[in-house]
Amino acid sequence: MTKRTFNVERFFQALGDNTRLRLLNLIGEQEICVCYLVEILGGPQPKISRHLAYLRSAGIVSARREGKWMHYRIVMPPHIGAAQILKQTLGWLKDDKSMQADRVRLTKACCSPSKYALLDGAPLPIPVQEASCKEC
């Protein structure tokens, strides 16, 4: 709704921030509620929200409202080249130590959301495409 034309500069700029890379890593192949992202990244909620807005404006993620919860998922850019780079980047993140740690913490949070004040009653992430969540 915001950015109609895909912008290459904007695309790379969106990837040039560690918080946004962490968000993309956590979202991965799921459609995930914002509250999980806030919980795992640990920062103030507006910070997360602003970075998600940036990713939206860059056309890298899309949002869906479900009641009072917002679900985010990664959308592949229209340009084949950009899509390949995004996939490659996500794969790259999987090999990163701190990114792996983030995902482990997300998995734990998913398995027992009631232990986290922010997550009590929150909807679980929904795998998209053919991906499956072995742990949960």
Partner DNA sequence: CATTCGCATTCGTCAAGGCGTATACATAAA
Partner DNA sequence: TTTATGTATACGCCTTGACGAATGCGAATG
Q: Which residues bind a second copy (CB under 8 A)?
A: 8-13, 15-18, 21, 79, 81-82, 84-85, 88-89, 91-92, 95
Interface with DNA in residues 48-107 (CB under 7 A): 48-54, 63, 65, 67-70
Q: Which residues of 91-129 are buried (b: 16+ CB within 10 A; e: fewer)?
A: eebeeeeebeebbebbeebbeebeeeeebeebbbbeeee
Q: Which is nearer to DNA, 16 or 91 (CB)?
A: 16
Q: How far apart are CA 125 and CA 136, in angstroms?
A: 10
Contact partner at residue 15 from a second copy, DNA, none, CB < 5 to 8 Å by partner kind: a second copy
SS3 127: strand
Beta bridge partners of 69: 66
Q: Which is nearer to a second copy, 9 or 130 (CB)?
A: 9
Contact partner at residue 82 from DNA, a second copy, none, CB < 5 to 8 Å by partner kind: a second copy
